[in-house]
C-alpha cells in the first residue's frame, strides 16, 4: 500500500499519495482560435450562399470529366506535420476538390433520384456539427432524442400514417430495410434466432423474403447480411406497369411452404427505383395477414408525395404495414443522409435490437415512458440528424413542401405530354411522381428533315424491335448528354429494355431547365440518327 507521504514524479505530474498536482503552467493546445473560426465561417457561408443560389457556376460540368485517380494525384500523399492555414485549405477545396464533384445540388441534376440540400437543412447540419450530440440514449441527449421523436411524428402525420406508428432516423433506406427484415425474423419468435442464431441448426428451415422483381437491390443485400442468402429472396414478377402481382406472390408463398421453407416477410414498394411503380399494397397486406408475414413498405422515394393532399392515395394500404421507410434525403430537400423508419410494432424492434451493457445503464432510465433510440437498431452512436429535418419541415411548412412537390410533378406531367406527342420517342412507364422513363427510337425522321427519312436501324429480321440497337442508341444519347456537362441522367432496364430516366425534384429546377434538357436530348438523338 502506498502511503500518503510518498512522493514520485510521473509524466509531468507531482504525486503525493493520492493527490496529483499538474506541474505544467501552459494552457492546453486548444482549437482554432475563435476569431479565426468566425472569419472562416463567414467566408464559407458567403461561398455556400452563392453556390445554393447560382448552382455549380457557368462552365462547370454537372458530371466531372475526370479519370480515376485525378483528384488523389493532386493531394499530398501524407498528412502535414504542422498545421495549414485555413485560407490555403479553402483554396485547395476550390481548386482540387470542387472540380471533382458531381453536382447533385444542381437544378439539372436529373439522375437516379433528387437530393437537393436546402438552406434550412444546410444550417441544420452546421448547428448539429457544432453541438455534436450523440442521440443514442435519452440522457446522452435529452433534447436530441425528444426532437427526433417529435419531428417524426410531424412527418408521420404529414404523409397520413396512423398515430400508432413510431419512428426514428437512420442513414439510408438500405439500412432501414435491413432492420425491417431483422425485425421480421424476431417477429417469428419461435425461430429463437436472437438467442440461438442460425448457424449449425439443421432443424431451421430456409427463411424466405418476397419482393417484386423491381424492388431495390438493398433487399437482397439485407438478406445476404442477415444470413438468408440470395436464395432466400423470392422475386415476384410484375404486371405491364411494373407492379408486383399479388396472385403470383400467393403462389410463391404456397409453393415455399409446401417445400418446407419458412416465409418470413414481404417487401412492397411505393416508387420503385427503376420505374417509380406503386405496388398494390392493400392486396399485399391482406396476403401478409393471411399467412402471418411481416409487411415492410419501401417508400423511400414515393412516400413524401403523400404530403400533397391529392396524392395521399399513393400510400393506400400502408397503414397496415409493420414497417415503413421514406427518405427525406431524396425528395424532401434534406442533404444526405436522412432516412426515416417507422413501425407499428416498436416492441418487436426492441426485442430484436435492445442490448444494454452496464456502462450504459442508469437508474434514471427506469422510467417506462423514456425512449433510448439505440434500442431500435444496430448502431450505438447516432448523429443528430433530426435537427436538419426539423428545420426543413418547420421552415417550409407542410403547405410549402406540398407546393414544391406539386410543382415538380407538374413539370414531369408536362414533359410526359410532350413525349407522347413527339415522334421518335416513347414513354416506357407511367409517370406516377416526377420521374420519367423513356427511350428514343434509333430510326425515324429527324426533326427538320421532312424530305429525308432516316434509315430504320432498329428492326430485326422478324420485324420486331432490335433491343441491342435501342440500347446502343439510347446509351449514346445519354453519354453525349452527360459529357456535355449541361445535365446528368441515368438509365435502367425495364423488362430487359434499355430505358433512360429523368428525375425532376431539385428545389430550383424550373420549366426552363426541363425544356433545355429535353431540347438537348432531342437534338443529340437527331444528330445520332444522321450519323453525326
Q: 1 falls in which pLDDT band (50, 70, 90)?
A: very low
Report the candidate in 138, 388, 432, 415 with the shortest Cα–Cα distance to residue 274: 432
| Cβ–Cβ < 8 Å for 369, 348 | no
For 368, counting Cβ atoms within 10 Å of its Cβ (0-12 exposed, 13-18 middle, 19+ buried), the class is: exposed
- pLDDT at residue number 4: 42
- pLDDT at residue number 2: 39
Rounded to the nearest 5 percent, the helix, strand and coil shares of the chain are 45, 15, 40
| Cβ–Cβ < 8 Å for 304, 331 | yes
Read off φ and ψ for residue 230, nearest 5 degrees.
-60, -35
Query: Coil, strand or helix: which one is 300?
Result: coil
The active-site residue out of 359, 376, 470, 498 is 359
359 in active site: yes
Q: 23 falls in which pLDDT band (50, 70, 90)?
A: low
| Cell output for 30 | 486548444
Q: 11 falls in which pLDDT band (50, 70, 90)?
A: very low
- pLDDT at residue number 458: 44
- More confident position, 358 or 303: 303
User: What would the pLDDT profile of 149-199 be if each residue is shown by its tens digit?
Assistant: 999 999 999 999 999 999 999 999 999 999 999 999 999 989 988 999 888
Mean pLDDT value of segment 297-316: 97
Choose the CATH number for 168-195+204-355+365-379 among 3.40.50.410, 3.40.50.300, 3.30.200.20, 3.40.640.10.
3.40.640.10
Q: 9 falls in which pLDDT band (50, 70, 90)?
A: very low
Report the candidate in 110, 103, 5 with the shortest Cα–Cα distance to residue 55: 103
Is the pLDDT at 10 greater than 90? The verdict is: no
- pLDDT at residue number 282: 98
In the DSSP assignment, the letter for residue 204 is S
User: What would the pLDDT profile of 95-111 be if each residue is shown by its tens digit?
Assistant: 999 999 999 989 999 99
Is the pLDDT at 5 greater than 60? The verdict is: no
Residue written as grid cell 470529366 = 65
Is the pLDDT at 132 greater than 80? The verdict is: yes
- pLDDT at residue number 21: 52
Is the pLDDT at 8 greater than 50? The verdict is: no
Mean pLDDT value of segment 21-37: 81
CATH class of 34-106: mainly alpha
User: What would the pLDDT profile of 269-283 be if each residue is shown by its tens digit?
Assistant: 999 999 999 999 999
User: What would the pLDDT profile of 70-93 be if each residue is shown by its tens digit?
Assistant: 999 999 999 999 999 999 999 999
- pLDDT at residue number 58: 82
For 296, counting Cβ atoms within 10 Å of its Cβ (0-12 exposed, 13-18 middle, 19+ buried), the class is: buried
- pLDDT at residue number 370: 87
Average pLDDT, the chain: 90
Domains 34-106 and 168-195+204-355+365-379 share a fold: no
- pLDDT at residue number 363: 57
Distance of CA 122 to the CA centre of its chain: 17
Mean pLDDT value of segment 200-220: 94
Can you tell me the distance from the alpha carbon of 470 to that of 223, in angstroms, rounded to the nearest whole number?
34
Mean pLDDT value of segment 435-444: 91
* Percentage of the residues of the chain whose pLDDT score is greater than 70: 91
* Percentage of the residues of the chain whose pLDDT score is greater than 90: 80
The architecture that CATH gives domain 401-529 is: Alpha-Beta Complex (3.90)
Is the pLDDT at 468 greater than 90? The verdict is: yes
- Report CA-CA distances (Å) from 62 to 66, 120, 486, 488: 12, 23, 6, 6
User: What would the pLDDT profile of 219-238 be if each residue is shown by its tens digit?
Assistant: 999 999 999 999 999 999 99
Mean pLDDT value of segment 481-505: 96
Can you tell me the distance from the alpha carbon of 504 to that of 460, in angstroms, rounded to the nearest whole number?
34
- pLDDT at residue number 460: 46
| Cβ–Cβ < 8 Å for 149, 391 | no
| Cell output for 203 | 432443424
- Report CA-CA distances (Å) from 65 to 43, 75, 330, 523: 28, 18, 25, 21
Mean pLDDT value of segment 328-340: 95
What are the extents of the domains in the chain?
34-106, 168-195+204-355+365-379, 401-529
- pLDDT at residue number 87: 95
Q: 54 falls in which pLDDT band (50, 70, 90)?
A: confident
Is the pLDDT at 464 greater than 70? The verdict is: no
- pLDDT at residue number 367: 74
- pLDDT at residue number 364: 55
- pLDDT at residue number 258: 97
- pLDDT at residue number 466: 87
Report the candidate in 128, 74, 169, 121 with the shortest Cα–Cα distance to residue 371: 169
| Cβ–Cβ < 8 Å for 180, 294 | yes
| Cβ–Cβ < 8 Å for 152, 340 | yes
Can you tell me the distance from the alpha carbon of 319 to that of 309, in angstroms, rounded to the nearest whole number?
16
Mean pLDDT value of segment 395-409: 97
Amino acid at each position: 500500500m502506498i502511503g500518503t507521504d510518498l512522493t514520485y514524479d510521473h509524466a509531468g505530474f507531482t504525486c503525493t499519495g493520492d493527490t496529483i498536482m499538474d506541474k505544467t503552467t501552459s494552457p492546453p493546445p486548444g482549437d482554432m482560435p475563435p476569431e479565426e473560426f468566425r472569419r472562416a465561417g463567414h467566408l464559407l457561408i458567403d461561398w455556400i450562399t452563392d453556390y445554393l443560389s447560382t448552382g455549380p457556376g457557368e462552365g462547370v460540368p454537372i458530371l466531372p470529366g475526370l479519370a480515376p485517380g485525378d483528384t488523389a494525384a493532386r493531394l499530398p500523399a501524407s498528412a502535414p506535420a504542422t498545421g495549414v492555414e485555413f485560407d490555403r485549405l479553402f483554396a485547395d477545396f476550390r481548386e482540387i476538390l470542387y472540380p471533382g464533384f458531381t453536382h447533385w445540388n444542381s437544378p439539372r441534376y436529373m439522375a437516379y433520384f433528387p437530393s437537393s440540400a436546402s438552406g434550412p437543412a444546410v444550417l441544420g447540419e452546421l448547428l448539429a456539427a457544432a453541438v455534436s450530440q450523440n442521440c443514442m440514449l435519452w440522457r446522452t441527449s435529452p433534447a436530441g432524442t425528444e426532437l427526433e421523436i417529435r419531428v417524426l411524428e410531424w412527418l408521420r402525420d404529414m404523409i397520413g400514417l396512423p398515430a400508432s406508428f413510431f419512428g426514428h432516423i437512420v442513414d439510408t433506406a438500405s439500412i432501414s430495410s435491413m432492420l425491417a427484415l431483422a425485425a421480421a425474423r424476431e417477429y417469428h419468435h419461435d425461430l429463437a434466432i436472437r438467442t440461438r442464431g442460425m448457424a449449425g441448426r439443421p432443424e431451421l428451415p430456409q427463411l424466405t423474403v418476397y419482393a417484386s422483381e423491381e424492388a431495390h437491390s438493398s433487399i437482397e443485400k439485407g438478406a445476404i447480411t442477415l444470413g438468408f442468402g440470395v436464395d432466400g429472396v423470392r422475386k415476384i414478377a410484375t404486371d405491364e406497369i411494373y407492379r408486383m402481382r399479388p396472385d403470383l406472390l400467393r403462389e410463391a408463398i404456397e409453393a415455399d411452404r409446401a417445400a418446407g421453407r419458412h416465409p418470413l416477410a414481404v417487401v412492397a414498394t411505393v416508387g420503385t427505383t427503376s420505374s417509380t411503380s406503386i405496388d398494390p399494397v392493400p392486396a399485399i397486406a391482406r396476403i401478409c395477414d393471411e399467412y402471418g408475414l411481416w409487411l415492410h413498405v419501401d417508400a423511400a422515394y414515393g412516400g413524401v408525395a403523400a404530403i400533397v393532399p391529392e396524392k395521399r392515395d399513393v400510400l393506400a394500404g400502408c397503414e397496415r404495414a409493420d414497417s415503413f421507410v421514406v427518405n427525406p434525403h431524396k425528395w424532401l430537400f434534406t442533404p444526405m443522409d436522412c432516412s426515416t423508419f417507422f413501425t407499428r410494432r416498436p416492441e418487436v424492434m426492441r426485442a430484436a435490437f435492445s442490448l444494454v451493457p452496464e456502462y450504459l445503464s442508469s437508474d434514471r432510465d427506469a422510467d417506462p415512458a423514456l425512449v433510448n433510440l439505440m434500442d431500435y437498431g444496430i448502431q450505438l452512436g447516432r448523429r443528430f440528424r433530426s435537427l436538419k429535418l426539423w428545420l426543413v419541415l418547420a421552415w417550409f411548412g407542410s403547405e410549402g413542401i406540398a407546393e414544391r412537390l406539386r410543382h415538380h410533378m407538374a413539370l414531369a406531367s408536362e414533359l410526359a405530354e410532350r413525349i407522347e406527342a413527339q415522334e421518335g420517342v416513347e414513354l416506357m412507364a407511367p409517370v406516377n411522381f416526377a420521374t420519367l422513363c423513356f427511350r428514343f427510337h434509333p430510326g425515324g425522321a429527324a426533326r427538320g428533315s421532312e424530305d429525308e427519312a432516316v434509315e430504320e436501324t432498329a428492326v430485326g429480321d422478324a420485324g420486331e424491335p432490335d433491343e441491342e440497337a435501342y440500347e446502343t442508341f439510347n446509351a449514346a444519347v445519354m453519354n453525349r448528354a452527360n459529357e456535355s456537362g449541361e445535365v446528368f441522367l441515368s438509365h435502367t432496364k425495364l423488362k430487359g429494355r434499355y430505358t433512360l430516366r429523368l428525375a425532376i425534384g431539385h428545389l430550383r429546377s424550373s420549366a426552363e431547365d426541363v425544356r433545355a434538357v429535353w431540347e438537348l436530348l432531342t437534338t443529340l438523338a437527331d444528330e445520332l440518327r444522321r450519323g453525326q
